[in-house]
Structures are given as structure tokens and as C-alpha cells.
């Protein structure tokens, strides 16, 4: 799942992978906003980091996920061309749980900050 999200951000969005919390990747993710995301990618032209999070069915609505997404959504670029711009966040969830994921984002007031992708 993390590998698929990393490949989507790299190949589908043409982003450079800066850190991936997956064994096959040499560069590991680092802490952003007190949490370590599954994927950290960068839009080279815009100098903008992007966060990727993969969730399983049992990890869609809980305090950890809420804290993780809230912390990431409050981060802005500190420098470069996109200084002050909020970091885009992609959240990958199982296809059968897309509605649940969107409901949680609305409940947490994060629906404008997080883009939901589905897998499976």
C-alpha cells in the first residue's frame, strides 16, 4: 500500500520521492509536525513538499489518524517558491471505506486539506 502510494506520487503526479516508510526505499520519511508520514514527496518546480498517508480499514477513524492528518494539515512551507503554502496531503484508503474516510475528514474539518485516494 505504501509502495503503491509512493509510485502514484512519483509516476502519476511527477513528484520526487524524498522519504518513504517502506523497506524498498533507501530514503526514509522524517518527522513533520510531530508525526512521521508514510511518504514525503516534492514538486521540484514549485518547491513544495507533499505528504502521503496509507490507511487500512481499521485505521481510518481513530485518534492517531486524526492527530496525524491535523498535524500535517497545519504545516506550511518554510522557504522556497511555495513559502507559506500548505502541504498537500494524499490519504490512501481501501475502496470499500472511501465514504467513511470522507466522513471522518468532514467531522475533523479537514475535507479541504486532504485528498482521498482509494486502493483495492
> Mean pLDDT, 10 residues at a time, over the chain (120 residues)?
95 97 92 91 95 94 92 88 93 96 96 93
The reported pTM is: 0.92
**Domain extent for 85:** 2-119
The length of the chain is: 120
Would you state the pLDDT for residue 32? Answer: 87
Would you state the pLDDT for residue 50? Answer: 96
Would you state the pLDDT for residue 20? Answer: 97
CATH of the domain at 88: 3.40.1350
**Strand 89-94 relative to strand 39-43: parallel, antiparallel, unpaired?**
unpaired
Indicate the number of domains in the chain.
Answer: 1
Q: How far apart are CA 117 and CA 98, in angstroms?
A: 8
Q: How far apart are CA 21 and CA 37, in angstroms?
A: 7
Amino acid at each position: 500500500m505504501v509502495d503503491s502510494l509512493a509510485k502514484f506520487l512519483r509516476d502519476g503526479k511527477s513528484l520526487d520521492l524524498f522519504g518513504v516508510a517502506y523497506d524498498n526505499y533507501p530514503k526514509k520519511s522524517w518527522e513533520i509536525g510531530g508525526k512521521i508520514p508514510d511518504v514525503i514527496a516534492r514538486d521540484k518546480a514549485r518547491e513544495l513538499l507533499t505528504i502521503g498517508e496509507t490507511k487500512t480499514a481499521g485505521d481510518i477513524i481513530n485518534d492517531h489518524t486524526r492527530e496525524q492528518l491535523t498535524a500535517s494539515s497545519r504545516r506550511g512551507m518554510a522557504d522556497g517558491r511555495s513559502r507559506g503554502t500548505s502541504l498537500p496531503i494524499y490519504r490512501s484508503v481501501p475502496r470499500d471505506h472511501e465514504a467513511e474516510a470522507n466522513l471522518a475528514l468532514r467531522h475533523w474539518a479537514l475535507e479541504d486539506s486532504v485528498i482521498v485516494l482509494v486502493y483495492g
